[in-house]
Amino acid sequence: MRLIAQLLGLLARGTALMLGLVGAGMGLACLGGAFSDKLDAFTHAAPLWLAMGVGALALGGLFARGGERWVMVGLGLATLLACAVLMLPEYAAAWRFRGATPAPSDLKIIQFNVWRDNRTPGKSIDWVLAQDADVVVMEEGGGDALPIIRALKAAYPFASCDRSALCETWIFSRKKMLARGGAPTDPPYLSGAWATLADANGPFTVAGVHYTWPVPAGPQQAQARKLVQMLAPFDQKSLILTGDFNSTPWSFSLKRQDKALGLRRWTRALPSWPAGRFSRVMAAPAPFLPIDHVYAGARWRAVRIERGPALGSDHRPVMVTLRRIAQ
């Protein structure tokens, strides 16, 4: 028994050292994302590095002794410090949000990547229709998700695209569309749609986009620059932007995008991916990466921010209720 206890202690100390070395190394490398898009790709996994730091602290503190313990605890603390620099501002912003009771005149928006491999499209349809949102923005509206698109086209009087098979990003609205369009087709490719909607307080534009993955570095940053150019002609104060950005808020790329857009991102520390069974062999009990975001100009204020349930997509929907501010 003593030998078994010694072996288990050795395993715990070895695990703590491995977690501390990897967590601290990756956490500190992430800080280099301020200067390098390649290093910034690692920032999206900050929750994983954070978990490694906690593991190093716990196992090292419990099973190591003397100088060995201080090394492991030090590595764990270095990991936590690096992750705090990346993540704490986002969680502080989420904590500061104060909602209000929605009014009938408020604008309810659903942002939802319905996933072309959606496993239960009927469940997605029922949930979205039950929300009775004013505007629904959807990405990956093809493949197994086509029934969702067809149902929304039948339920909503206005859509940003006429043919279900030709569009990947969609905007559905109960308000009349005065104009509509998609992202420019010149490189880099960006799946996007926009629609200018009629409103008693004056028209406003809603845009939806779908970014590529952050790895390899470069294409996603190019899409962000293209998005800024695409939105420049619209009234920025009344503009609303939603999408699956495949980018976490602790990445330097998204922070730079927030600044370049000049809009307020209302979705703060709101994990939306992964949801349910997101591959043939993997399932998630809860999402842990916030990659679906909703922005709005200065004439809008969010009064409610919610996350929907798992609905057969690898993303959970995000719902934001906005109130127009007289200016």
> Alpha-carbon distance 322 to 240, whole Å?
10
Give residue 6's pLDDT band: very low, low, confident or very high (50, 70, 90). low
Q: How far apart are CA 139 and CA 141, in angstroms?
A: 5
91: containing domain = 2-96
Q: Report helix, strand or coil for 171.
A: strand
Of 44, 71, 96, the last residue of a domain is: 96
**Are 119 and 88 in a shared domain?**
no
Number of domains in the chain: 2
C-alpha pair distances (Å), 221 with each of 28, 113, 187, 261, 315: 22, 20, 13, 13, 22
In a domain, 62, yes or no: yes
What are the Cα distances from residue 197, in Å, to 143, 183, 204? 28, 17, 5
Instruction: For 89-136, write each residue's pLDDT tens digit.
Output: 999 999 999 999 999 999 999 999 999 999 999 999 999 999 999 999
Instruction: Say what the pTM is.
Output: 0.94
- The answer to the question of residue 101 being in a domain is no
pLDDT of 278 > 90? The answer is no
Q: How many CB atoms lie within 10 A of CB 122?
A: 13
Shared-domain flag, residues 207 and 252:
yes
- Residue 30 burial class via C-beta count within 10 angstroms: exposed 0-12, middle 13-18, buried 19 and up: buried
Note whether 124 and 232 are same-domain residues: yes
Would you state the pLDDT for residue 327? 64
- How many angstroms separate the CA atoms of 263 and 260, rounded? 8
